[in-house]
Amino acid sequence: MSERETISSTSPAVGRALDILLHLAGRSGLVQAAALARDLGIPRSSVYHILSVLVDRGFVTYVPKEQAYGLGVASFEIGSAYLRHEPLERRARPILRNLANRLGQTVHLGILHGAETVYLLKERPSKARSGDADVALITDIGVRLPAHLTANGCAILAHSTEAQLRALFPRPGDLITRTGKGPRSLAELRSQLTQDRERGWSEEIELVSEGLRSIGVAAFDHNERPVAALSSTWHRHHCRHDPDHVREVLQQGAARLTAAVSGRAPARRAAG
């Protein structure tokens, strides 16, 4: 007996619910309950009961006009969460490796977890340049930092709604700092994020560590929502790293990652 058959026999309702979701996922349009019962060999009464539960939980949606069912928002959220984790890292790793070698400096992949930036990947250049020691960074894999202080985090926060920002920063007049620099209030942060969203990238200079500068660019999912950001950090007084060049390379990498997860970047709004 297969693992799937074992699960279905010990918990038939769970197995049937998963079968229904998989069947709906494989169809391009809506499906009526009678067709689900016929195609899956499930009693019609059971199909209606399971569909009722799935509709209540948001995994399935019912369209009265068609008297048929399709996948709900919760199903798409599960799919997006899948892309945001291991598969996202697998798709991003070769992109980050290429960027690190092109720039000759460390490149990160980060995500937003609450009001913090969490770094999932860190790629160093394969060949260090002569006299070019790796920048001493605190942004190792798994490290968390206040998102509003990092270029990586702000690249994602720039696409948050007003309600989301207020939920993330419940004390809007008292934002923390690490070096005494950076936005001190939600109003200051909101102004900065508006500029970041309009230009399509974020930057921080000595907000996390003295002497260091970072640029971050977001990658997006199919709903034009940021799922992660690519960023790079370097000594701000090292002239070999032209900020415009770093930004352009990161933007190219973010576009590649967006395409790799079948995403779409939102159209940038003109300033003013």
pLDDT digits (tens, 9 = 90+) for 170-190: 876 778 888 888 888 999 999
Distance CA 261, CA 216 (A): 19
pLDDT class for 264, splitting at 50, 70, 90? Answer: very high
Using a pLDDT cut of 70, give the percent of the chain over it: 83
User: E strands, 86-211, where?
Assistant: 107-113, 116-123, 144-146, 202-205
CB atoms within 10 A of CB 6: 11
Distance CA 85, CA 146 (A): 20
Distance CA 80, CA 67 (A): 27
pLDDT class for 79, splitting at 50, 70, 90? Answer: low
pLDDT class for 5, splitting at 50, 70, 90? Answer: very low
Q: 55: which 2 tokens?
A: 């509709």
pLDDT digits (tens, 9 = 90+) for 201-230: 999 998 988 889 999 999 999 889 999 999
Contact 148, 183 (CB under 8 A): yes
Residue 34: φ, ψ to 5°: -60, -40
Query: Which domains can be identified in the chain, with CATH numbers?
Result: 3-71 (1.10.10.10), 81-260 (3.30.450.40)
Question: Residue 228: in which H helix or E strand, if any?
Answer: strand 226-235
Give 44's contacts (C-beta < 8 A, 6+ positions apart): 33, 34, 37
Distance CA 127, CA 11 (A): 54
Reply yes or no on whether the pLDDT at 239 is more than 70: no
pLDDT value of residue 162: 83
pLDDT value of residue 157: 96
Q: How many CA atoms lie within 13 A of 40 on its CB side?
A: 26
Closest CA to 219 of 115, 75, 95: 95
pLDDT value of residue 81: 60
Distance CA 229, CA 112 (A): 9
